Amino acid sequence: MADYIYTLETRLSPDQQKAVTLVSNAAKAAGMNLYLTGGAIRDIITGFPIRDLDFTVQGNALKLQKDLERAGAVVGDADAETRALLLTLPGGVRAEIAMARSEHYDKPGKAPQMAPATIIEDLRRRDFTVNAMALSLNEGSRGLLMDPFNGSADIEAKVIRVLHNYAFLEDPSRLIRATRFATRFHWPLEERTQARYDAAKENGYIEYIRNASIGHEIEQLAYEDDALGVLKAYEKEGWLKVLNPRWSTAKVDTAGLGALMKTRQQMNELGYTPEVAPAVLHFLTERLGDKDVSDLRRAIPRKDLVESWKDLDSNAHSLAKRLSGKEAATPSRTWQLLSSARPEMILFLAITARQQAVAQKIKNFFTKWRLVQQKIPLPEMTELHITPQMPAYPKIANDVFMLLLDGKLRSRTETLKYLKPLAPPPPPPPPPPSAKRGRGAKALAAAAAAAGPVAVSGKPGAKGKGKAAAVLATPVPAAPVKPATAKAAPPAKPVAPATPAKTEKPPAKKAVARPAAKHTTKVKPKVKAKPKVKAKPKPKPKPKRKK
């Protein structure tokens, strides 16, 4: 049996993993059983990117709201009818937590009757087999996959299959969803599903779509990687006019959307993961009238998405203004300003900036200025004992970078001249191995020497140079440091400053530089050298025996 927990842990991003832990803790505290459901399970199995996390709890999900908000969740919507929360969890992770429910449809176009249910009943109300699986996150059954419709076989066969013959009649938004998934995954509809789909289309079932479903599907479009491709498919199938009667591909700023995706890709390569959904909606609706745009906004359930979409223009405008002013008068100040700006704002402005100077500054931020980091003389800094172990290291490295950016340090010599006075005093020499004599003393000295020349000689100079410098230099990246998360303001402290916490561990393990002095005298001789001294006479007879 597949180890789904292992797959879960390897496939989710660190932020998504934290989100799973957060929701698990909240559900546990409330005494509710929790399952990961929907697209997340499908994508874990298929290997496609996991866009959002859909959780289902056996109980009222709304009861978790306060707990989750205290842990940093932003609630985009709390639906009293389905008792579901739409959340943005720390790190920008999108999630939905819904109450497990059964649905009973009396009439097409009418909302189903809902009732709290078990997880298995809940899976019966789902749209397609590949979306009707649940993974237990509960103690005792953690990792158990519930797949009553054999969705995993359909994933393997790469087909989209409805759960029953009335799927499209009961909820015509499934027609739109089928088109969306077929376009995204390039999976066909299973034969009978296709026949039902065609019949539903011919008989105009879509008329009965509920407003809430329209809003949900507009929102989902924003998160598609190829939103334009999906929009075109909607247009072809006749679904786009269902989302808005005047929406068409002609209303899309295709060049803007293309540039958005391209620039996003470039930012991803540098380690930024900006949330593009608001900007996608902006370009998808660029040529739609104001009224239509506000209709679309009203329909979208996730209010934080709508707010970000609305604020795009004004935020970009104010960032452009700041980039044109005194605050960005020098490269270093511009660097600091852009490092503290939200990646999504930089991305949007990079595409929409009208002033050449603003666009150029953003370009420099992503290209030319990053290369300046390579001018930081890391090996020499190590020789000077300016290493991540120093509390002042982040500031020193950052200051050097800023001075280099502004051209105030123009050569390596100038940089070293600047750095020298900032170097800490050299490490003290180790206590002499006076207590030992003869072989023991020699072994002690040999062990100390092997552990690091700095410790033996007490001089950080010539002997210590090669090895210590090489080891210490490794954890300090010469290349641009990648930002940790989408929301984190990346490389304001680009070089070592951004990673001192991470870089402290490896050198300590290898016992170099100053900590090494202690290790060599205390640990190595006592533990390793002593047995060696005693053991030496024993191995000697071995060659004799051979002879």
Site string for ligand ATP, 216-235 (x = CB under 6 A): ----x---------------
Binds 122: which of ligand ATP, Mg ion, none (CB < 5-8 Å by kind): none
Helix (H, G, I), strand (E, B) or coil at 314: helix
CB-closest chain residue to ligand ATP: 39
The three-state secondary structure class of 430 is coil
Residue 237: contacted member of ligand ATP, Mg ion, none (CB under 5 to 8 Å, by partner type): none
> Can you say whether the dihedral through the CA atoms of 532, 535, 539, 541 is positive or negative?
positive
- Give all strands of the β-sheet with 145-146 in edge-to-edge order: 74-79, 84-89, 93-99, 53-58, 33-37, 134-136, 145-146
Q: How far is the CB of 149 from ligand ATP (least distance, A)?
A: 11
Tell me whether residue 52 or residue 295 sits nearer to ligand ATP (CB atom).
52
Counting beta carbons within 10 angstroms of the beta carbon of residue 411, is it exposed (0 to 12), middle (13 to 18) or buried (19 or more)?
exposed
Confirm or reject binding of residue 383 to ligand ATP (CB under 6 A): no
Residue in 11, 126, 196, 282 binding ligand ATP, rule: CB under 6 A: 126
| Residue 237 in the binding site for ligand ATP (CB under 6 A) | no
Q: How far is the CB of 52 from Mg ion (least distance, A)?
A: 4
Q: What CA–CA distance (Å, rounded) separates 291 from 246?
A: 11
- What does 131 bind: Mg ion, ligand ATP, none (CB cut-off 5 to 8 Å by kind)? ligand ATP
Is the CA virtual torsion 459, 463, 467, 469 positive or negative? positive
Question: Is position 161 an interface residue for ligand ATP (rule: CB under 6 A)?
Answer: no
For residue 39, state whether it binds Mg ion (rule: CB under 5 A). Answer: yes
**Residue 485's binding partner out of ligand ATP, Mg ion, none, with CB under 5 to 8 Å set by partner kind:** none
- C-beta of 247: minimal distance to ligand ATP in Å? 19
Stretch that binds ligand ATP, among 169-177, 302-310, 375-383, 513-521 (CB under 6 A): 169-177
Tell me the C-alpha distance between 191 and 171, whole Å. Answer: 20
Among 51, 232, 467, 482, binds ligand ATP (CB under 6 A): 51
Decide whether 54 or 344 has the Cβ nearer to ligand ATP. Answer: 54
Tell me if 174 contacts ligand ATP by CB under 6 A.
yes
> Which residue type does 88 have?
T
Given 34, 45, 54, 315, the residue binding ligand ATP (CB under 6 A): 54
Cβ atoms of residues 362 and 346 within 8 Å: yes
Residue nearest to Mg ion (CB): 39
> CA-CA distance, 51 to 391, in Å (whole number)?
39
Binding residues with ligand ATP: total (CB under 6 A): 15
Which residues, at least 6 apart from 298, have a Cβ–Cβ distance to it below 8 Å? none
Question: Are the C-beta atoms of 215 and 301 separated by less than 8 Å?
Answer: yes
Q: Among residues 130 and 175, whose Cβ is nearest to Mg ion?
A: 130
Q: Please tell me what DSSP assigns to residue 327.
A: G
Pick 40 or 473: Cβ nearer ligand ATP: 40
Per the structure block, which two tokens stand in for 399? 């200051």
List the interface residues with ligand ATP, window 58-117 (CB under 6 A): none
Stretch touching ligand ATP by CB under 6 A, among 48-56, 262-270, 280-288, 443-451: 48-56
From 51-59, 200-208, 248-256, 270-278, give the range in contact with ligand ATP by CB under 6 A: 51-59
C-alpha closest to that of 220 among 209, 234, 238 = 234
Give how far Cα 304 sits from Cα of 73, 158, 298, Å. Answer: 12, 34, 12
Q: Which tokens sit at 6?
A: 């292992």
E-only strand ranges, 257-345: none
Q: Which residue stretch of 17-25, 49-57, 71-79, 137-145 sits at the interface with ligand ATP (rule: CB under 6 A)?
A: 49-57
Residue placing its CB nearer to ligand ATP in the complex, 218 or 400: 218
Binding string to Mg ion for residues 50 to 89, with x set by CB under 5 A, is what?
A: --x-x-----------------------------------
Contact 385, 396 (CB under 8 A): no
Burial class (CB within 10 angstroms; exposed 0-12, middle 13-18, buried 19+) of 250: exposed
List 127, 154, 275, 295, residue binding ligand ATP (CB under 6 A): 127
Q: Which one-letter DSSP state was computed for residue 425?
A: P
Measured between alpha carbons, how far is 155 from 6 in angstroms, rounded to an integer?
A: 19
User: What DSSP assignment string belongs to 180-199?
Assistant: HHHHHH-PPBPHHHHHHHHH
Q: Which does 264 bind (CB under 5 to 8 A by kind): ligand ATP, Mg ion, none?
A: none
Summarize as ranges the residues that interact with ligand ATP (CB under 6 A).
38-39, 51-52, 54, 126-127, 131-132, 171, 173-174, 177, 213, 220
Summarize as ranges the residues that interact with Mg ion (CB under 5 A).
38-39, 52, 54
